[in-house]
Structures are given as C-alpha cells and as structure tokens.
Amino acid sequence: MANKIRIMDLSSELGIGNKELLQILRELDIPVKSHVSSITDEEAAQVREKMQRKDASVDVQQREIQPGVILRRRKKVAKAEEVEQKDVVVDASVADQPDETSTPPVQEKAKAKQERRVTSARIVSQPQSAPKSAAGGEDAHVAPSSDEQPLGAAAELVEDQPEVQFEDQPGEQPKSESGESSEDQSEVQPEDQSAERLPKTTSADEPDATQAEVGDSTGAESEKAAVSETAPVTEEKPKKRKPKRKEPLMQTGPQVRIISKPEAKPDFSYKPESKPYTPTPVQTPGSETPARAAVPKAAPSTESTQERKKKKKGKRTVEIVQTSPFAEQDRSDPNWKKKKTSPVQDRTGGKFRTKRSRSKSRDAHDDQMLQTGTQPIKAAKRKIRMEEAIRVSDMAKQMGLKAQEIIKILFSMGMMTTINQSIDQDTATLVATEFGYEVEQVGFLEEGFTQTLEEDKLEDLAPRPPVVTIMGHVDHGKTSLLDAIRETNVTKGEAGGITQHIGAYHVETSRGIITFLDTPGHEAFTAMRARGAQVTDLVILVVAADDGVMEQTKEAVNHAKAANVPIVVAVNKIDKEDANPDRVIRELSEMGLLAEAWGGDTIFANVSAKQRIGLDELLEMVLLQAEVLDLKANPGKRARGHIVEARLDKGRGPVATVLIQEGSLHEGDVFVCGLYQGKVRAMLDDKGQKIKEAGPSYPVEVQGFDGLAESGDEFVVVADEKIARRIASARQTKEREKTLAKASKVTLDSFLASKAAGETKVLNLVIKTDVQGSAEAVSESLLKLSTDEVRVQIVHSGAGAITESDVMLAAASSAIVIGFNVRPMAKVKEIAESESVEIRFYDIIYNLVNDIRDAMTGMLSPIIRESYLGQAEVRQTFSVPKIGMVAGCAVMDGKLLRNAKIRLLREGVVIYTGKLSSLRRFKEDVKEVSKGFECGVGLANFNDIKVGDVIEAFEEVSEKATL
C-alpha cells in the first residue's frame, strides 16, 4: 500500500529500535503485530509527533569514551516515567571486529541514527544491563579488550541503581515495551532484529566479545570496579517488565558482539520473574537449545511478586540477570526467566532491575548473603548504659562483676558506698574505665529542646528593664518602700489599674521601666539563687537612717555580694528626727560598700517611704545603675524565665508568676517548668489585665501548668506538647534518681578530695556564733588558715541561731555552715538535709580551727560525730527540793534517752551541754520518751532552765575521718 510505512522503516527513520517503536505504537493505540507490520502515514505522523515531544524532553548525550566505545546518556528526563532513567549504550569496540568500524561519538539524533547503522554490528548493550551500565558509565572506562567484561561492570552499576529493569527478553530490546526507556538503546540498535542486543543473547561464536556485553569472566572484576564507581544505571519501571512479544534471539549475526564467555555459564544463577514469560509470535524460537537448561540454577530467590513489590517500597532490590551464550537455549525452559535473576539487596534501593554478568565470586557471595540475611555483626563494645545515676549493683550486673569489686574501686577513690547506692555519671565513668568499659548515657537529653545553641545576634538584642529586689533588716521599711514606689507610680501612670499581687510588678518612670520582685527579704532572694535562678539584676538595700546597719542588713549585703548583684542603698526614714544617714554610709563602708562621696562606686539615696521623699531620685539611681549593666535580651525568640511565685488557685488550678528573662511568651505557648509542663492558657499582668504577649523582664501570671511549680524553677517554652511531656517526665525520673543517689554537696571531708591538682580551692564557710565577738574571732582565725592552695572564704558570719537563710546561702554558695555554740532548730536541720548542706558544730574554737586546718591539709583526724536523737520543749519548770530544777517537757521531735547527752538551747543558742540527771513519765523513771509524749527532765549540774528552752538529745559516735 502506497500510503503505508513499515515499522522497521519508520524506526530507522526515527532512529529508534523496532521494539521501542512498537511500544510507542501500542501507547498510541495503533495495532501492530511486529516490526514487519505496516502502519498508515497518518499513524506514522502520530508517532513522529510523539517522538518530537519526547525529544524535547530528553537530552541525550553521547560521547566516545574509547575508540569504538560510545557512551550515551540521557541527561534529563522530563517525563515522570523517564525520571531516573539514564540509558547509556556501550558499544563494544569495533576495533576487535574486522567487519566493524569504530563508532565516532555522536551528539545528535541524526548522527546517532547513522551511527547505529554503522555500529549495528556491535552489540548494543543489553537492555537489562548494558544500557544501564552505559548510563552510569558515562565516565566509566569500558575497555574493549576481549578479556574484560564490561558487562560485569554493568552489573556492578546496576546494583547501585535505585531501580530495577525488568526487561528480560533475550531476543528483544529490553525496553521495547516502554518506548521511552528504550529510546536510547534503540538508537544504537542494529536494525536487524537478529542482532538485537539481548542481554542473554550471547553468541558463543565470538569469544572475545565486547565487554560491554554480558561479561562473565573473572577478569571483569577490575573493570567492574572502575565503572561501578561512577556509572549510574538505567532504571525502569516495573511495568515494563513484561514483554508483550517475543523476539526470538537471532543467532549471533556477524555484527553481534559476544557478550560473555561460554565458560562462565555454569555459574549463572537465575531469579524467577514475577511474570511468566510470554513469547511473541515473531521470529524463530528454534534457536533455543537444551544446553541452557544445563546452566546451574542457583537462584537463591523464590520471591513472589508480592514480596518483590513490598521490597520495591521498602528494601530495594536489584535483580541480577546472568546471561550466557546459552541464553537462547535457556528459553526452551519455560522457566528460563526465573532462572535468570537473583535478587540482591540494593544499597541504593529502587525498583527491580536486572543486570547481567557478575563474577562467580560475587554471585556466590550474594547467594550467601541472601541465605544468611545479614552481615557479620561487629563485636559489641563494652559499654555501660546509664541515665543520670546508676546503682552500684546495676552497674556490676552490666559488667558481669561482683558489686564488691566496684565498691572496692570506689573506696580507693575515697568514696564509701553501699551496693544499693547510686553513683553519678562522672564517678561511673571512672569506675567503668578501671574495668575497660565505657559509659554511655542513655535516656532523654532535654538540652537539645530547651537550649538555644545559637547565640543571639547583636542586632536582635533590645534593651530590657532591670529586675530589682528590695532587701534590708526587719522593720527598716522594705514593704513601705515597695508600696510607696508602686502606689506613687500606679497613680501616676496607670490610674484605674487594680493592683494584683502576683509577686512582681513593673513600674513606669519618666526614665524607663523597672521590674520589682515583690518578695522582700533575702530568704526569697537566696532561695531562688540556690535553685540556680539569678533573676535579680539589682538589689535595693533598705537601711533605716535611725537604726543603721543591723544583722540582717549584713546578711543582705553578703547575699547580694555572693550573687554578684550590684547594690543601691536606700537610706530610709530620713524624715525621722534621729535619722543619721552618714552613720549608714560609714557602717556600710566597713562592709566594703563605699559611697561615691567616699571614693567608692556604691550609690546611696536618702528616702522616706512614709513621706514619699526621694523616691524618684532612688528610681533614677536604679536606672542609672541599670544602664551601666547594659541589660539586653532578645525578645524575638521562645520565652525563657523563672518562677517568682506559684500557687494553687481554686478556680484556675496551678498558676505561677513567671518573670520572662529572654524571648517573648505568647498565649498558647507550650512550656516546661521544673518537673511540670503546660500550655499558656491565659496570661495576666500585675494589673490583672489579660495580655497575649510578654517580653523580657516582664512579670506575668501564667495559667495552664499541670502541676504546682516552685519559685525559682526555670520556665522554658518548647516546640510542642510532645517534647514538653517528654522533658517533664524525664525530669521526674531524674528527680527520683537524684533522691536515691542523695549526693551531698560540699562536706568538709570531701572538700579536698574533690580538688583538682594544681587548682586553688576555695572553702566557703557560713559562720554562726552565739555572740558577735565570737563570730569575728572565729572568722579571723579561719581566714588565717588560707594557703596558696586552699583559700578560706567567709560567705557570711554573724551572731544568732543557724537559720533557714544561712542554710540557703550555704546551699547557693556551696558552703559549709559552722555553728559555734549555736544549733539549728529542727526545721532548719531538715532544710539542711534536703539541700545537702553540711552543718558542723563546735564549742571550742581550738577544735574548730584544727578541724578546718586538718581538712585543708588533708589530715583530718578521727572525728566524733554527733548523732541527733530528738528535741523537747520546756513547757513548765518546777523547783524540787534537794533535786533542783525539773522541767516539764513535750518531746517535739525524735526522742529523749536517759543516757543521752543533751544541750539546752535558748533561742537557738546553746546554754548548756551535759547530761540528763533524770527522765520521768508520771513519776516513773523511763529510759526513753518519744515524740508526742510529755516527760519530766532534770539536767545534771544545771538549774537555769526556762520555759521555752529546747532540750536537744544526742549521742556521740566516733568515726574515722576520710578524705
């Protein structure tokens, strides 16, 4: 028919393979049977148009990488189907072939077409392998020498490819089904179908076949390696797997390059195809010989289609198609296809693909891998997994040791531990190293979620108001001053605002804003600091002008100094007649606070809280001082701050005042705080107004906690609720472990043990004595002990009972509390225990100084430890003739023992230390009286007992001091 054109002709015209063209025709719904069929001009036009479109989207590069070896590569594939397909055809060098001419590199299609004709004699790479290898092998050097096996290289490449090509038809162009994918190959395909590069079409008659084909010789290994490194591989969609027609292999025509060496065939293993092979009615299948069946079928895989589909999604698999010169014969076996592929796990993943020719050893290895499924496992490292702390017994278990061995090591490190005690990570690391183990911290590390690793950029920082705490002695006017400042400024700037007590508030002055912490007193200040919360920028020290510097004034100064917070002195009550501000200046100078007038840098302001005198000046001074501090924060990030106050509100649940220190807090933000987490449900400012956002130095009352936070707790906004929950639960776990570990802070005994070599150690002490004179004497004696290596630093010293404030100061400063003739009350003792603060008691200065010196020189002599038994309060006193004074007591804590030693405390000060002369209940002598019971007590050789005194019973236990 004049208006008809044969497929073969059209394919040559278009420069594509017959098979590919057939595929295109099928896509265009043009019915054809084979390449000898004809189509109408109209249909041909459709094909041409389609090809044009395709060409536009495909950029094929060709270059000759070696004489006679052309590399074709699809640079970019626009169509989804084509994505990741990089087809390269490696043409076997023609050099070896007398009847072939070497192929020059071709860049354009037209040229390619011509090229194809010229090189048709060469074996076009096998669809399954060669195209891929070629694709990947753009930079690969495929040597044409007969000994080498480029296909082997191809096989390597294929393995690295994410996709798997399923074309497996021996006599066909591998991608004939998918016109697009085979496009490139078809270009180099011989026009003669018989010469088609069938992966398995290997003709034994050409033993020195090009390596581009299915090489199987061992010599291919090196080549493979070279190519595999660079060569991307063609990938094809699984849909192309099933050939629709059978194109019987032609016996190797004169131009067909032999793909593999015949002797390699016995090692081929085959993998069953998921789809049965359906021969196409074209060509003669008679070429198949039974010899193929003789090929060992070491196919390790018998995967089902479904299994393979699964793999496609998850594990990526490569199918290796081994081809041999017996490929044709193989097809006589209905299962030939199955025999040809073997699955191998693909590193890159992707679709199934096949490749040919692998070395025997590789196959054997793969088979083995498939059978074993895994690679040999590396010897596990000797690791101990622990969270924050680990119990000695658990650690021993992990190392397969007896706990005693660990305890021994710990002992040699100066730590007395028991089997049930927990040790921290540092200690565990030391112990583990002794046994050749490593410590691995497991569990949740919150730092990544709560810490900003990036430092704030300078341009992100904005000035923030100073945060001020007012401190001073009792009755010197702290509350009055706070109220005065607030009221004055409330009426000034925020008329109508209803004052809310949220523990902090901010005041607007003409010079700027100041945030006040409404928690006067150093207890709150130090309690927060002990928790690591340094929220205060400045301290206003209130000193009554008529009273001067008093005990708590000194404490306040020491607390502020310990926290390194600048002090502005407010000399209050200057309205009083006997006010003497100069005296205050003088007294404070003795404590190191030198007024500017005296050449120092401490700001003093005379005020009267009662009469509202000097308040503006005071605030101005505060702001001046703040300016020096150059307080800045980045308001543009997630908020971080500390809890100032927390309480349980009847209607709103747990609420807390958060002082934002950096970033901005918004409604809806998710946060963690102490052991709890939550979401900001609502925010109120200090005027009780609902706000949506709060920036740095801004105090807000936050609603939405899932537990009651504590003042001083850090408040951090995190990314989401999941993280918040995780952190909170990790903290709760940690807290439990900490309680178990019960690691004490600093003790005199452990002081030197923790000292690193060459480091000057500072021994911080808080000294409390019965009288002021002793405080000075003790301090002086101890300060004299300072050496180059160990320096004694008195954080605070004063007269009076050991108070909660002393303990908190010691906790915050890692100090030891020295009680000289003073004792703590039971409650203070409890706090000291919970804060792990050591309190040591002395009544002879000589002993005290010796102990400290011994501790400092590492020669602590055996010590007598006191074991506290209990306390009883004197409710009544009776004078009994001949016996003396007898006290009617109620045991408030622990118990009193008849033979115990006792001391009599009056307002925390030791009045007498001695023994009981009698212990009775209802006129009966008893050996002990427990908490909650009343008793009559007589003290040996002491009668000056008064109502309100406390009798403390204790035992003395002799202990050898260890360092």
Ligand X SMILES: Nc1nc2c(ncn2[C@@H]2O[C@H](COP(=O)(O)OP(=O)(O)OP(=O)(O)O)[C@@H](O)[C@H]2O)c(=O)[nH]1
Q: Is 758 annotated as a binding residue?
A: no
Unique residue bearing structure tokens 């349980």 = 648
Q: What is the DSSP letter of 861?
A: P
Q: Give the nearer residue to ligand X in terms of CB position, either 124 or 543.
A: 543
Q: Is 248 annotated as a binding residue?
A: no
Which of 474, 753, 880, 957 lies at the binding interface for ligand X (CB under 6 A)?
474
Q: Label each residue of 425-455 as H, E or C.
A: HHHHHHHHHHCCCEEEECCCCCHHHHCCCCC
Q: Give the nearer residue to ligand X in terms of CB position, either 480 or 732.
A: 480
Q: Is 474 annotated as a binding residue?
A: yes
Which of 610, 725, 734, 915 lies at the binding interface for ligand X (CB under 6 A)?
610
**Residue 580, H or E segment:** none
Residues 403-462 touching ligand X, rule: CB under 6 A, are none
Span interacting with ligand X, options 132-140, 350-358, 381-389, 470-478, rule CB under 6 A: 470-478
**Residue 198, H or E segment:** none
CB of 552 vs ligand X, minimal distance in Å: 8
Residues 235-274 touching ligand X, rule: CB under 6 A, are none
CB of 703 vs ligand X, minimal distance in Å: 29
Q: Give the nearer residue to ligand X in terms of CB position, either 517 or 778.
A: 517
Identity (one letter) of the amino acid at 754? S
Residues 475-514: x/- map of binding to ligand X (CB under 6 A)? xxxxxx----------------------------------
Q: Is 839 annotated as a binding residue?
A: no
- CA–CA distance from 869 to each of 85, 434, 595, 913, 916 (Å)? 85, 41, 49, 15, 14
Residues 567-586: x/- map of binding to ligand X (CB under 6 A)? -----xx-xx----------
CB of 479 vs ligand X, minimal distance in Å: 3
Q: Give the nearer residue to ligand X in terms of CB position, either 43 or 546.
A: 546
Residues 511-530: x/- map of binding to ligand X (CB under 6 A)? ---------x----------
CB of 645 vs ligand X, minimal distance in Å: 16
Whole-angstrom distance, CA of residue 869 vs CA of residue 345 = 73
Unique residue bearing structure tokens 């006290």 = 887
Which of 507, 609, 644, 680 lies at the binding interface for ligand X (CB under 6 A)?
609
Q: Is 106 annotated as a binding residue?
A: no
Phi, psi at residue 204, to the nearest 5°?
-70, -15
Helical axes 403-412 vs 392-399, angle rounded to 10°: 120
Q: Is 476 annotated as a binding residue?
A: yes
CB of 585 vs ligand X, minimal distance in Å: 17
Q: Which of 580, 581, 579 is nearest to 569 (CA)?
A: 581
Calculate the CA 426 to chain-centre distance: 19
- CA–CA distance from 237 to each of 181, 233, 309, 338, 748 (Å)? 9, 13, 12, 19, 76
Span interacting with ligand X, options 240-248, 370-378, 471-479, 662-670, rule CB under 6 A: 471-479
Which of 119, 301, 329, 608 lies at the binding interface for ligand X (CB under 6 A)?
608
**Polymer length in residues for the chain:** 963
Span interacting with ligand X, options 46-54, 604-612, 763-771, 850-858, rule CB under 6 A: 604-612
CB of 483 vs ligand X, minimal distance in Å: 7
Give 681's Cβ-side CA count (13 Å radius): 11
Q: Is 501 annotated as a binding residue?
A: no
Beta carbons within 8 Å of 828's beta carbon, 6+ residues apart = 801, 802, 803, 804, 806, 807
For residue 704 the two structure tokens come to: 């939405």
Q: Is 479 annotated as a binding residue?
A: yes
CB of 597 vs ligand X, minimal distance in Å: 22
Residues 105-134 touching ligand X, rule: CB under 6 A, are none
Query: What angle (nearest 5°) sits at the alpha carbon of residue 944, between those of residues 940 and 947?
Result: 110
CB of 589 vs ligand X, minimal distance in Å: 22
User: Would you say 13 and 6 are in contact if contact means Cβ atoms under 8 Å apart?
Assistant: no
Q: Give the nearer residue to ligand X in terms of CB position, either 360 or 612.
A: 612
**Residue 911, H or E segment:** strand 909-921
For residue 357, the SS3 value is: coil
Q: Give the nearer residue to ligand X in terms of CB position, either 610 or 681.
A: 610
Q: Give the nearer residue to ligand X in terms of CB position, either 521 or 824.
A: 521
Q: Give the nearer residue to ligand X in terms of CB position, either 245 or 478.
A: 478
Beta carbons within 8 Å of 406's beta carbon, 6+ residues apart = 392, 395, 396, 399, 431
Span interacting with ligand X, options 61-69, 124-132, 602-610, 704-712, rule CB under 6 A: 602-610
Q: Give the nearer residue to ligand X in terms of CB position, either 165 or 536.
A: 536
Q: What is the DSSP string of 232-281?
A: ------GGGGS-SS--PPPP--TTPPP-S-GGGGGG------SS-----S
Q: Give the nearer residue to ligand X in terms of CB position, either 576 or 791.
A: 576
Q: Give the nearer residue to ligand X in terms of CB position, either 585 or 709.
A: 585
User: Would you say 657 and 701 are in contact if contact means Cβ atoms under 8 Å apart?
Assistant: yes
CB of 573 vs ligand X, minimal distance in Å: 4
Q: Is 141 annotated as a binding residue?
A: no
Q: Give the nearer residue to ligand X in terms of CB position, either 225 or 474.
A: 474
667 lies in the site for ligand X, by CB under 6 A? no
For residue 790, the SS3 value is: strand
CB of 467 vs ligand X, minimal distance in Å: 19
Q: Is 506 annotated as a binding residue?
A: no
Q: Is 473 annotated as a binding residue?
A: yes
Whole-angstrom distance, CA of residue 529 vs CA of residue 809 = 8
CB of 572 vs ligand X, minimal distance in Å: 5
Which of 190, 300, 472, 641 lies at the binding interface for ligand X (CB under 6 A)?
472
CB of 520 vs ligand X, minimal distance in Å: 6
Q: Is 475 annotated as a binding residue?
A: yes
Q: Give the nearer residue to ligand X in terms of CB position, either 324 or 552.
A: 552
CB of 495 vs ligand X, minimal distance in Å: 24
Calculate the CA 900 to chain-centre distance: 55
Residues 139-198 touching ligand X, rule: CB under 6 A, are none
CB of 828 vs ligand X, minimal distance in Å: 19
Q: Which of 482, 520, 178, 118 is nearest to 353 (CA)?
A: 178
Q: Give the nearer residue to ligand X in terms of CB position, either 322 or 572.
A: 572
Helical axes 41-57 vs 18-27, angle rounded to 10°: 100
Q: Give the nearer residue to ligand X in terms of CB position, either 219 or 472.
A: 472
Dihedral (Cα; 593, 597, 603, 609), 10-degree rounding: 110
Identity (one letter) of the amino acid at 510? S
Identity (one letter) of the amino acid at 17? G
Q: Is 472 annotated as a binding residue?
A: yes
Q: Which of 636, 765, 644 is nearest to 715 (CA)?
A: 644
Span interacting with ligand X, options 216-224, 469-477, 616-624, 730-738, rule CB under 6 A: 469-477
User: Would you say 292 and 328 are in contact if contact means Cβ atoms under 8 Å apart?
Assistant: yes
For residue 816 the two structure tokens come to: 């030891």
Bridge-based pairing of strands 513-517 and 467-472 is: parallel
Residues 82-101 touching ligand X, rule: CB under 6 A, are none
Cross-strand partners of 919 = 937
Q: Is 520 annotated as a binding residue?
A: yes
CB of 734 vs ligand X, minimal distance in Å: 37
Unique residue bearing structure tokens 């660079």 = 230
Beta carbons within 8 Å of 894's beta carbon, 6+ residues apart = 868, 869, 870, 871, 930, 931, 953
Span interacting with ligand X, options 217-225, 328-336, 607-615, 703-711, rule CB under 6 A: 607-615
Q: Is 519 annotated as a binding residue?
A: yes
Whole-angstrom distance, CA of residue 388 vs CA of residue 734 = 6
For residue 421 the two structure tokens come to: 């005690």
Interaction site with ligand X (CB under 6 A): 472, 474-480, 520, 572-573, 575-576, 608-610
Binding residues for GTP: 472-479, 518-522, 572-575
Binding residues: 472-479, 518-522, 572-575
